[in-house]
Amino acid sequence: MDYFSLTLCEAQKLLESEDITSVQLTESVLSRIDVVEDRVKSFITLDKEGALDQAEEADQQRRKGKAGMLSGLPISVKDVLCTSNMRTTCGSKILENFIPPYDATVIEKLKTEGAVIVGKVAMDEFAMGSTNENCAFNVPENPWKKGFVAGGSSGGSAACVAADESLASLGSDTGGSIRQPASLCGVVGMKPTYGRVSRYGLVAFASSLDQVGPLTKDVADCALMLNVISGYDRCDSTSINSPVPDYTSSLRDGLGGIKVGVPVEYFDKGLDPEVELVVRSGIDMLRDAGADILEVSLPHTEYCVAVYYLIAPAEASSNLARYDGVRYGYRELDTDSLIDMYRRTRSHGFGEEVKRRILIGTYALSAGYYDAYYKKASQVRTLIKDDFARAFDRCDLVVSPVTPTPSWRIGEKADDPLALYLSDILTISANLAGIPGLSVPAGFSGGGLPIGMQMQAAHFNEEVLLRAAWNLEQRAGVKGKKPDLG
């Protein structure tokens, strides 16, 4: 049996029954990485020795009756989360050799529950991108089709899970960076409510938008991961101190009494016909499961991209000011003065997309322009949030496509940043409103590329998303299908 192909829940049962050990499971995953990594290119840092040590420790703890919720399960982590024993690059040359002095809170939670962290996976530099082409080290490829993008910025996480290089992964989502690659790679990805999961130790891109979440092989695994990483953290001032439910208990058959809203603005021109066909079919499956389907409106959707690309770069401009070559990270040595060192370090350390967004954000915050740009964008952001509040007065969740198209060729949109920005049009709104969103595999294009369905709900209503996604998963006939990687 190929243990690497197991889901978290499947592997957990085998470990509990002592049919396999964590060392055997981890060795299987590491062997899988050896076979397919040259094709997938998902890892920035792979820690084989450390993973096997963690697996041995997990086996020892299990024999003592001290197994945690993720005990002995091999998991990867997006390289934007601080790890005290492993470098954290954020996909950037400026942090190429940076090893943090502490673990992010979510990493502490993984370790407390006995997870085996096999390594750190690729991402767009500082999470700025939709294809992973902005990574300074390697560009992951979609496991379903060679030469096609895995999505971004959590493309390494999505590709890694789809290729069975880890049983699950943690990513981050600022404007769709979990849901979009999950859809393009055919895995489940969730952005929880802002404040549900601690951001402490998540290297900041846009602090009012960033959120950590899981990418998994199925919905049950997503619920399990969410159980582990959720909860209040006094180290994060934006963390919400409210009880965390058992998300796995929401996975039950039938959607009787659930109202599903279909936003008319999300099925507009520019949507690929194959994507619309798959999502419409998924809506029919939700109806068959007992849900009531109704049409809703989110009238300020057309402003989402403009609002996001003012707020996110403005916050990035502030957050990335700390990378100056003085305290840590890359430093340009061949300089004439302190100011020249700042300029050269940041010019050579940051990639083009990061510099582009810093410039946009700095301009939006500059004297004389703040009110016209950042302040106005923040006001429209409130209107977008209010749109969702009105929609959720009528329904329990809204469903839509995740992306306007399936995956595309690497390099196809590299010279057109605006086209890439527009590819996030269907996911950005959840971050602006702070609501939870989830992508669940719903079907395939004629060319064999995965297509996901997006589900969004009111604040802290992740349970209804997981329940609806689980019901779709049972009916869509997609679960368990794997890309052919040899």
d(CA 20, CA 158): 26
Hey, which residues does 78 pair with through a beta bridge? 121
Catalytic choice (22, 71, 76, 78)? 78
Q: How far is CA 44 from CA 88, 119, 196, 412, 486, in A?
A: 9, 8, 28, 23, 22
In the set 71, 92, 177, 230, the catalytic residue is 177
In 10 A of CB 446, how many CB atoms? 8
The full DSSP string for 280-324 is: HHHHHHHHHTT-EEEEE--TTGGGHHHHHHHHHHHHHHHHGGG-S
State the DSSP code for 267.
G
Which secondary structure element, helix H or strand E, spans residue 398, and what is its range? strand 397-401
Question: By the 8 A CB rule, do 458 and 246 touch?
Answer: no
Is 353:369 a contact under the CB 8 Å cutoff? Answer: no
Q: What residues are paired with 45 via a beta bridge? A: 120
Four-residue CA torsion sign, 358, 301, 226, 134: negative
Q: What phi and psi, each to the nearest 5 degrees, are found at residue 17?
A: -85, 0
Confirm whether 479 is a catalytic residue.
Answer: no
Torsion of CA 18, 21, 24, 25, to 10 degrees: 90
Check 42, 92, 153, 407 and give the catalytic one. 153
Q: Is 153 one of the catalytic residues? A: yes
The answer to whether 149 and 131 have CB atoms below 8 angstroms apart is yes
Give the whole-angstrom CA distance, residue 346 versus residue 354.
Answer: 10
Token pair for 284: 């029919």
| Cis check: omega of the bond before 366, within 30 degrees of 0 | no
Sort strands 188-191 and 168-173 into parallel, antiparallel or unpaired. Answer: unpaired
Catalytic residue check, 78: yes
- Determine the straight-line distance between the first and last CA of the chain, rounded to whole angstroms: 15
In our burial notation (b when 16+ CB lie closer than 10 A, e otherwise), range 390-428 reads ebbeebbbbbbbbbbbbbbebebbeeebeebbebbbbbb
3 state DSSP class of 81: strand
Residues annotated as catalytic (active site), given as ranges: 78, 153, 177
